[in-house]
Amino acid sequence: MEEIKQAKILIVDDQEYNVSLLERILRRAGFEYLYSTMDPFQAQPLFEEIKPDIVLTDLHMPGMDGMQILQYIRSKDAILPVLMLTADLTPEAKKQAFQEGISDFLTKPIDRIELVLRITNLLQIRLLYGQLREQNQLLEEKVQQRTQELQQAKHEILNLLAKASEYRDDETGEHTQRVGYLSGLIAERLNLPPAEVELIRLAAPLHDIGKIGIPDHILLKPGRFEADEFERMKTHTTIGADILADSVFSTLKMARKIAIAHHERWDGTGYPAGISGEDIPIEARIVALADFYDALTHERPYKKAWTPEETIAEIKAQRGKHFDPSVVDVFIELFNEQLTVQQV
């Protein structure tokens, strides 16, 4: 109740007697912060200055009536309590006032007890609304915080899964992160939607998760595979797809498309399905090139690293064969831009 007594009340009435009466009644009721004007044109600047908790306004006043004041208030605050004081009880006046958003009516001559009760009720409603709004804001902040925590946890889990897939031949897990980064750059340069670019960046590191199911004597073998070993190695694509199957999350759904198709080739000579051209998902076409470039330019236990220039030359040679020509073209642009930056 004490909070209500601290409310700021703005009174607008062109009759000095009415203003004095209202102030006297409200002070006796314990309200201290009273502001008033007999000039309706001063209502707007006063409203802006004091930011009242409730407005009491007469309906009929010269120059600017209570309805115009109500319209102005509603343009600034849709829920501020406005109590209209009037002797005009015609249906037309009431209808218009309610259409404009009046909170309540009080008929003249004013009943002191009814005035205090109506003001108190309106202020209680405003107070409760304010408390509810604060609670909703706190809940929204908690939801946002929880969402951020879940998003962070999801990213950490994706990173750990990607690192696990490479752990036996790249303990740092840096290969998977580099492939994700490169794939995001390529996708962005291809003018894919920003949301899809971000999904590709997050999903690409999981492209080789199926390697978890490949024995070490094959996965870490130096030199060329025997025919049966290569057939076993190729199953990492389908193993990865099986691991990622049935997920409801968009990132893992995309990761599955990439895992199963990132060894398909533009000319149809890839695996596991031998699909070609645009039948290969664009995400897989992007990751295929990013994975190829990073794998060749970094040393592994079973191979030496190629130079970037040697790798780019091979990528150009595989344009339209292994790789989507459009993906090759934007990657070459990115590579040349990076060289230019390094030379400056």
268 and 217 in a common domain: yes
Kindly state whether residue 158 falls inside one of the protein's structural domains. Answer: no
Which of 297, 224, 296, 235 shows the shortest CA–CA distance to 263?
Answer: 235
DSSP-derived pairing of the beta strands 54-58 and 104-107 = unpaired
Note whether 18 and 134 are within 8 A (CB).
no
Inter-axis angle of helices 250-261 and 282-296, nearest 10 = 60
Look up the pTM and report it.
Answer: 0.60
Picking from 138, 153, 178, the residue at the C-terminal end of a domain is 138
Tokens found for residue 274: 């031998």
169: buried, middle or exposed (CB in 10 Å: 19+, 13-18, 0-12)?
Answer: middle
Look at the chain and count its residues.
Answer: 344
* Structural domain for 115, as ranges: 2-138
- Specify the CATH number for the domain of residue 113: 3.40.50.2300
Domain count, the chain: 2
Distances (CA, A) of 53 to 16, 33, 104, 135, 175: 22, 10, 14, 20, 61
Kindly state whether residue 233 falls inside one of the protein's structural domains. Answer: yes
Kindly state whether residue 102 falls inside one of the protein's structural domains. Answer: yes
Higher-confidence position of 157 and 37 = 37
pLDDT for res 277: 97
d(CA 140, CA 268) in angstroms, rounded, equals 51
Chain segment 273-291, per-residue pLDDT in tens: 999 999 999 999 999 999 9
Question: How many CA atoms lie less than 13 Å away from 326 in the CB half-sphere?
Answer: 12
Tokens found for residue 256: 């599955």
223 and 132 in a common domain: no
Chain segment 101-120, per-residue pLDDT in tens: 888 888 888 889 999 999 99
171 and 94 in a common domain: no
- Specify the CATH number for the domain of residue 213: 1.10.3210.10
d(CA 287, CA 236) in angstroms, rounded, equals 15
Tokens found for residue 176: 């998977």
- Model confidence at 130: pLDDT above 50: yes
pLDDT for res 297: 92
Residue found under tokens 């202020």: 123
Kindly state whether residue 333 falls inside one of the protein's structural domains. Answer: yes
Kindly state whether residue 143 falls inside one of the protein's structural domains. Answer: no
DSSP 8-state assignment for residue 226 = P
178 and 134 in a common domain: no
User: What is the rounded end-to-end Cα distance, in angstroms, of the chain?
Assistant: 71
Residue found under tokens 């319209």: 71
Which of 276, 257, 260 shows the shortest CA–CA distance to 321?
Answer: 276
Chain segment 149-181, per-residue pLDDT in tens: 887 777 777 777 777 767 666 655 688 889 999
Q: Which residues pair with 9 in a beta bridge?
A: 34, 54
Kindly state whether residue 149 falls inside one of the protein's structural domains. Answer: no
**Which element (helix H / strand E) includes 3?**
helix 2-5
